[in-house]
Amino acid sequence: MNGLGGLNKSDNGVVIGLVQLQLPVTVTPADLARQTARVVELVAKARRNMATMDLVVFPEYMLHGLSMDTNPAIMCRMDGPEVAALKQACIDNAIWGCFSIMEHNPGGNPYNTGLIIDDKGEVQLYYRKMHPWVPVEPWEPGNTGIPICTGPKGAKIGLIICHDGMFPEMAHEAAYKGAEIMIRTAGYTAPIRQSWRFTNQSNSFCNLMVTANVCMCGSDGTFDSMGEGMIVNFDGSVIAHGTSGRVDEIITAEVRPDLVREARAGWGVENNPYQFGHRGYVAVKGGAQDCPYTYMTDLAAGAYRLPWEDTVRVTDGTSCGFPAPTRLFGETTQEAAE
């Protein structure tokens, strides 16, 4: 199945490389340009490293590091030089790439944005992180939903970012929209190591899909990211795992989206994505297709409220040095000031 990390590629295989990128320090536009050039260099390394590679994946915060600096001077724009360089790197190396930028947002806080760019330099997937890691992260909550694109060998690919993967609903939504491979990029540090591992495996098995997951790696002098590139098969088994903590190492494996499709069509026991919406189909024709989950109906009605809601003490970013927000979701900075 793994084909020696992708060296022996099968006809239906998709070879993925996960870059455990050295955690950078980015303070100035010059730092941003320097780090962009480094990512471009590593796209080329990925191609040289594995001629069979279809998709190279970089972690969240690959350009900006973990400072949480929202300085407009170092925020990226879709028509800016950083994205242009990433597109050109994919063209020059004939490879698909998954990248992370902190994107300027004139109506509020920057977006934590993920991109999948094809080997012709075209953006095939654009995603804004749905669940910033509060209270630590200042990013605007994403409003794009969870898009899916068609990637190498016709594989359906989704992308979520870091803390997103702690919510089972995110992976389930990706699968529900057709993802056979779900990428999860992150900047996580060592205290999250165990939950990173078991959520990557559960996201795969519960949704019968391959997950490809990678964090930043190494130290920036303050934080220590953990690398932990993991490629997990649709049955929850780990195909490849970067446990050395070696910076800029590229973890590779071949995955088989055709076998994902086969399992989703042919499995009876543990065909979890299907059975979730067809409860008890042995007893009743087609299974029960109601929504018995109170949290879902409440959330859809804008009435989500926990039984312990009034006891929650951390509900904004003030504990991490951010001012208490005054805007409501969907309001721009200008609207909130009027």
The domain spans of the chain are: 3-276, 294-337
> What are the backbone angles phi and psi of residue 143, rounded to the nearest 5°?
-135, 20
pLDDT of residue 300: 97
Taking 90 as the threshold, does the pLDDT of residue 105 lie above it? yes
Query: Distances in Å between the alpha carbon of 103 and those of 113, 120, 155, 234, 259?
Result: 6, 22, 27, 32, 36
Domain 3-276 annotated CATH 2.40.30.10: no
Least confident interval from 34-48, 164-178, 180-194, 323-337? 323-337
CA atoms of 135 and 1, how far apart (whole Å): 41
Which tokens go with 42?
Answer: 């590593």
pLDDT of residue 179: 98
Q: Is 60 a catalytic residue?
A: yes
Taking 80 as the threshold, does the pLDDT of residue 249 lie above it? yes
Can you point out the beta strands (E) in 6-155? 14-20, 55-57, 96-103, 111-117, 123-128, 148-150
Q: pTM for this structure?
A: 0.97
Query: Distances in Å between the alpha carbon of 278 and those of 171, 260, 269, 282?
Result: 18, 20, 13, 10
* pLDDT band, residue 4 (cuts 50/70/90): confident
For residue 249, give the H/E element and its range: strand 249-255
pLDDT digits (tens, 9 = 90+) for 262-282: 999 999 999 999 999 999 999
* pLDDT band, residue 116 (cuts 50/70/90): very high
Taking 90 as the threshold, does the pLDDT of residue 333 lie above it? no
86 burial via Cβ count (<10 Å: 0-12, 13-18, 19+) = buried
Q: What does the mean pLDDT of the chain come to?
A: 97
- Which pairs with CB-CB distance under 8 Å and at least 24 residues apart come from 320-323? 320/135, 320/136, 322/135, 322/138
Percent of the chain scoring above 70 in pLDDT: 99
If one counts every other C-beta atom within 10 angstroms of the C-beta of residue 254, the result is: 26
Of 60, 103, 180, 254, the active-site residue reads 60
Query: What sign does the dihedral 198-154-268-1 (CA atoms) show?
Result: negative
* pLDDT band, residue 108 (cuts 50/70/90): very high
Q: Is 291 a catalytic residue?
A: no
Taking 60 as the threshold, does the pLDDT of residue 56 lie above it? yes
* pLDDT band, residue 284 (cuts 50/70/90): very high
- Nearest alpha carbon to residue 204 among 244, 246, 253: 253
Are the C-beta atoms of 57 and 183 separated by less than 8 Å? yes
**Quick one: the chain helix, strand, coil %, rounded to 5?**
30, 25, 45
pLDDT of residue 336: 67
Taking 90 as the threshold, does the pLDDT of residue 50 lie above it? yes
Q: In this predicted model, which residue has the larger pLDDT, 20 or 333?
A: 20
Of 98, 162, 215, 217, the active-site residue reads 162
pLDDT of residue 3: 74
Query: Distances in Å between the alpha carbon of 243 and those of 224, 225, 227, 229, 254?
Result: 14, 12, 8, 8, 18
Percent of the chain scoring above 90 in pLDDT: 96
Of 87, 98, 129, 217, the active-site residue reads 129
Q: Which residues contact 196 (CB under 8 A, 6 or more apart)?
A: 186, 188, 213, 215, 226, 228, 230
pLDDT of residue 334: 72
For residue 157, give the H/E element and its range: strand 156-161
pLDDT of residue 337: 64
Query: Distances in Å between the alpha carbon of 337 and those of 108, 110, 147, 325?
Result: 11, 18, 32, 12
CA atoms of 8 and 299, how far apart (whole Å): 47
What mean pLDDT is predicted for residues 77-100? Answer: 98
Are the C-beta atoms of 95 and 43 separated by less than 8 Å? yes
Taking 60 as the threshold, does the pLDDT of residue 1 lie above it? no
CA atoms of 184 and 19, how far apart (whole Å): 12
CA atoms of 185 and 162, how far apart (whole Å): 6
pLDDT digits (tens, 9 = 90+) for 144-166: 999 999 999 999 999 999 999 99
pLDDT digits (tens, 9 = 90+) for 190-247: 999 999 999 999 999 999 999 999 999 999 999 999 999 999 999 999 999 999 999 9
The partner residues of 186 in beta bridges, in order of sequence, read 215
Taking 80 as the threshold, does the pLDDT of residue 112 lie above it? yes
What mean pLDDT is predicted for residues 44-49? Answer: 96
Q: Is 215 a catalytic residue?
A: no
